[in-house]
Amino acid sequence: MGSVRERLAALAIPLGIELPEAYLAFMERRPERGIPIHHLGGLTELPKEWWPATLDVLEEDIWRGRWTKAAPYAHYMREEAERFLSAGVEFVSCPAGLPFNSARLSRGFWIGEEDGDSVFLDHQTLGVFAWLAHEDEVEQWASSFTEFVALGQRTGRFAEPGVAPDTGR
């Protein structure tokens, strides 16, 4: 079967992403506490604990054999971006008003979900982002996985005020 790192690398290669060391270490030795997030809650509410998907979930087929193709959950962002790419939509929106390239979205490494919204590692910056499915937009939650684990969700509309998102396209 291979080590955790080998299995994660096998999932990352087709997306062209080199997973950050902090994420690899987290997946090898999951800590006792989750990552604090404020998603869909106000700043007056206490953050809830969020956990990235397990390796077994990342390797599972999204379609569960109900489709002619198979895709692991780690590649969920590629599947989500396909409708934009096939329609010639070059950019999806961000709450900050900055465009986020659809091809860039397709190369995100899905690490879990929260209330139907996908959390992923951006292949370009290795920041932590969320795909807000009902809004068809991307928001950044942290500039790195290290920051995400240490400080929780730092940016996004339900995060701490005064923290600016990364503006990389």
The predicted structure's pLDDT at residue 54: 94
The CATH number covering residue 22 comes to 3.40.1580
Per-residue pLDDT of the chain (169 residues; tens, 9 = 90+): 799 999 999 999 999 999 999 999 999 998 877 898 877 666 677 788 888 999 999 999 988 878 778 899 999 999 999 999 999 999 998 876 778 999 999 999 999 998 889 999 999 999 999 999 888 899 998 999 999 998 887 665 554 444 444 444 4
Whether 157 is in a domain gets the answer: no
The predicted structure's pLDDT at residue 45: 74
Contacts of 58 (CB under 8 A, 6+ apart): 8, 11, 72, 73, 74, 110, 111
Whether 102 is in a domain gets the answer: yes
Whether 166 is in a domain gets the answer: no
The predicted structure's pLDDT at residue 160: 45
Q: How many domains does the chain have?
A: 1
The predicted structure's pLDDT at residue 167: 46
Domain extent, residue 8, equals 4-151
The predicted structure's pLDDT at residue 161: 43
The predicted structure's pLDDT at residue 42: 61
Length of the chain counted residue by residue: 169
pTM for this entry:
0.86
Whether 160 is in a domain gets the answer: no
Whether 85 is in a domain gets the answer: yes
Whether 120 is in a domain gets the answer: yes
